Amino acid sequence: MLKFVIRRLTYSIPVLLGILLVTFTLARAIPGDPCLAVLGERATEAICEAFFRRNGLDQPMPIQLLIYMRNFLQGDLGDSLRFHRPVMELLVDRLPTTVELGFFALLFAICVGVPIGVVSAYRHKSALDVGTMIGANIGVSMPVFWLGLMLAYLFAVLLKDTPFALPPSGRLTPGASPEPFYLVAGWYAEGEEPLGILRFFSRIHTLNAILTLNGELLVDALRHLILPALAVGTIPLAIIARMSRSSVLEVLNQDYVRTARAKGLQERVVVGKHALKNAMLPVITVIGLNFGLVISGAVLTETIFSLTGVGRTLVDSITSRDYTLVQGFTVVIAAGFVIINMVVDILYGYLDPRIRFN
Amino acid sequence: MAKVEPATLALSEDYRSANLWLEALRNLRHSPSALLGSAVIGALVIIAVFAPVFATHDPIQTMIGVPGETGRLPSKPPCIPILGCEDPQHILGLDLNARDLYSRVIYGTRTSLSVGVITISLSIFVGTALGITAGYMGGRADNVIMRLMDVVLAFPALLLAISIVTILGPGLTNALLGITITFIPQYARLSRASVLSIKEQEFVVAERALGASPLRIVLAHILPNAITPIIVQGTLGVGTAILDAAALSFLGLGAQPPTPEWGQILSESRNYLFTSPHLVFFPGIAIMITVLGFNLLGDGMRDALDPRLNRN
């Protein structure tokens, strides 16, 4: 197993290097003068020169690349040209929104998708099965951003003044400023600068609410999360449901399932213990592959629901040519994507020994 | 000695002589999802080709100052004849620039269908060429090409497309190129896998021993055997490409106004969701139906063409 993990880790290194190289090149290739974009049209040549020197942009490209790689390994992603703050700090600020949204979207997709798929496979060709598959087909065909807009209209306009009304924008009710858990616990005094990682977790509102036992905050955060999470989660839900269904169908026809039935095991044991365990392998891969969809979905939904996450910040920064930010965010997202895929692969190897030895 | 009944013999010979493609077509005819998918796509192609016939108005003409038009702003609510509306002049209402929404949605079919088909054709062409080269040559070429594909795959597709369009500049052609690049690795991987399994088979080894050129081996033997999964994947890919193109247009990176494109119409009208929801509703439905058509056909084709699935 260890050998398999090491092999999989070494395999990811060239890909990560490739990502660094590609994002570096992409960011440098964005047309337009970054100096004019940041300092405005009236910046003189001398001011621009100073700007280039300060940001290391006067060095030859290969040197810039080396500096970039060294800084990246030290966790320094440079300063955002637009916000005049370290990109890392902005990431700590905005990534929690996206992580929280992605987590709940995927949770929704898995918790609903897997049972639906399993039940429709078990009741193959029943009305439920046909209905589920039609629903899944429609689900994968919907544009995320359109679904988001329609949900916002349904829950914020049509269902307004009913108990089902949900807020169509923001992460919390305007004016709410939850106290971070590290202050509540007394680890830091008011005004002290906490560790980045603590700040990161405190900005995941649902987690912060649980840690500070703040029920009101939890409900508020969840209410704001429902619509965007439904929008982002629907396509992965449909894909997961389809995959679980076909995977369970295939397993139910296997000899060992027939044997299990033949020796008189209860149906509950046959399905739960023999069929499901094996059927879940491809489902795990599909869940892993869905992270990309969740990220793409987040980019589109954050704009609709006015959430300041990485997706929205990234899209805004592209138009204002803030390329240190674009580069930093893209690299972190892509690297995260590679690492998640690696974890899924390792998990897969753990669950299915045949993979490890191939 | 076992005696073979003449009828059985005739039947099996008939089966053997049947063309593989005819067989697939026969399978497709029995697949409800493939039939429904083809019907939807067929209808959309007719709408796209004869858009001027179906449209009631010029898709980019504003109705202000046109005789017989009120040109009322903001947008008119939709007037749908089946729902009892008396005046079906603009059946889906007017958009924010007083243009006929129905005609814009009709013309949008052209844009979306062509974007989907062109993107996938391009990426199949490039991807298959790369995949076959990698698989057939092996060694260093294989390594370089496939690692490059890994890097492309490491980016979430939409994010990569956004970055590429940012560099090339917003516009439909650049969006198309950006999406094409994100699709290439799928086809490279698929075709490489097929090549690897085919190139060691006896008929290919025999051909090579006879002195056939690599190009001939690839075109005459490998490609026909590798094409089926690519066609299936490609059909499913058209739907995704249409969704991606709409997403880019929605972010303002794809089709530019006043081009009637569904994602672009959504982008224009999304801030008016609460006052004129129909402007958002109809283009979205159009996208969904189109993507659904390609997904249904793709699913049906996978079942009909994939010999691994036992159809009995």
Tens digits of residue pLDDT in A112-152: 999 999 999 888 888 988 898 889 999 999 999 999 999 99
In this complex, is the C-beta atom of A165 within 8 Å of any C-beta atom belonging to chain B?
A: no
**Number of residues that make up chain A:** 358
pLDDT at B12: 47
Test B277 with A153 for CB contact under 8 angstroms. yes
Q: Of the ranges A25-29, B2-6, B131-135, which is most confident?
A: B131-135
Predicted local distance difference test score (pLDDT) of residue A18: 85
Q: Looking at residue B3, what is its pLDDT?
A: 53
Do A140 and B295 lie within an 8 Å CB cutoff?
yes
Residue B13 has pLDDT above 50, yes or no: no
Mean pLDDT of A200-226: 91
Q: Measure CB to CB from residue A318 to each of B157, B166, B274 and give the nearest one.
A: B166
Read off the pLDDT of each residue in B219-223 and give the average, rounded to a whole number: 84
How do residues A22-54 score in pLDDT, each as one tens digit?
888 877 777 777 777 777 777 788 888 888 887
Q: What is the pLDDT of residue A332?
A: 87
Q: How far is B312 from chain A (nearest CA, A)?
A: 13
pLDDT number for residue B47? 95
Residue B278 pLDDT greater than 90, yes or no = no
Q: Which of A23, A137, A338 sits opposite B295 (nearest CB)?
A: A137
Provide mean pLDDT across the span A260-272: 86
Per-residue pLDDT, B1:
45
Considering only CB atoms, A150 lies closest to which of B250, B284, B292, namely B284
pLDDT given for residue A289 in this prediction: 77
Chain A residues touching residue B154 (CB < 8 angstroms): 15, 18-19, 334, 337-338
Q: How far is residue A155's CA from residue B199's CA, in Å, rounded to a whole number?
A: 57
- What confidence tier does B71 reach under pLDDT thresholds 50, 70, 90? low
Residue B290 has pLDDT above 90, yes or no: yes
Distance CA B26, CA B35 (A): 11
Contact criterion met (CB < 8 Å) for B151 and A138: no
- Smallest CA–CA distance, residue A68 to chain B, in Å, is 18
The more confident residue out of B1 and B109 is: B109
- pLDDT at residue number B112: 93
Cis upstream peptide for A174 (omega within 30°): no
Interface touch B157/A292, C-beta < 8 Å = yes
Using the Cβ of A151 and the Cβ atoms of chain B, whether some distance falls under 8 Å is answered with no
User: For position B68, what pLDDT does the model report?
Assistant: 66
Question: If pLDDT is split at 50, 70 and 90, which confidence band does B10 have?
Answer: very low
Rounded CA separation A256/A236 (Å): 30
Q: Which residues of A touch B306 (CB under 8 A)?
A: none
Cα–chain center distance at B77: 32
Q: Is A31 on the interface with B (CB under 8 A)?
A: yes
Mean pLDDT score across all residues of chain A: 85
Distance CA A17, CA A88 (A): 19
Residues forming a β-bridge with B169: none
| Upstream peptide bond of B258 is cis (omega within 30 degrees of 0) | yes
Do A14 and B147 count as a contact with CB atoms less than 8 A apart? yes
Return phi, psi of residue B94, to 5°. -110, 150
- Please give the residue that has the higher pLDDT: either A61 or B105: B105
pLDDT at B75: 58
pLDDT digits (tens, 9 = 90+) for A214-242: 888 999 999 999 999 999 999 999 999 98
Which tens digits make up the pLDDT trace of B248-260? Answer: 999 888 888 888 9
- Tokens representing A222 are 């969840």
What are the Cα distances from residue A289, in Å, to A6, A44, A292, A307, B157? Answer: 21, 48, 6, 24, 11
Q: What is the mean predicted confidence (pLDDT) over A293-307?
A: 88
Taking the C-alpha atoms of residue B234 and residue B186, their distance in angstroms, rounded to an integer, is: 10
Q: What is the mean pLDDT of residues A100-117?
A: 93
**Integer Cα distance of B247 and B252 in angstroms:** 9
For all residues of chain B together, what is the average pLDDT? 83
For residue A300, give the nearest of B154, B250, B273 by CB distance. B250
**Residues A6, B176: Cα–Cα separation, whole Å:** 39
pLDDT of residue B312 exceeding 50: no
